[in-house]
Amino acid sequence: MDTAFVLVNCDLGSEEDVINDLKHIESIKEICGTFGAYDIVAKIENADREKVRDTITWNIRKIPHVRSTLTLVGIPGQS
């Protein structure tokens, strides 16, 4: 199983809308609003590494009000 953590920056005041949109993406297993440099952290899990990449590129980054993302890819066997 491949895992990635996506740190999301969004437009001011749009955090709840972005979180609601993230909830509808199949590969996203956890979502947490945060204080600090990033507004939201989303955990993606999928057996197919390409599906993880596609989820970030074609789903998360296309959500309205998402300004930027930073992806941290998990190391297999170190979870």
Domains and CATH numbers, the chain: 2-67 (3.30.70.920)
pLDDT the model gives residue 56: 97
Whole-number Å distance between alpha carbons of 43 and 71: 10
pLDDT the model gives residue 78: 87
For residue 39 the two structure tokens come to: 């507004």
pLDDT the model gives residue 76: 87
**H or E, element range at 52:** helix 49-54
Cβ atoms of 76 and 25 within 8 Å: the answer is no
Q: What is the pLDDT along the chain (79 residues), one digit of tens a residue?
A: 899 999 999 999 999 999 999 999 999 999 999 999 999 999 999 999 999 999 999 999 999 999 999 999 999 888 7
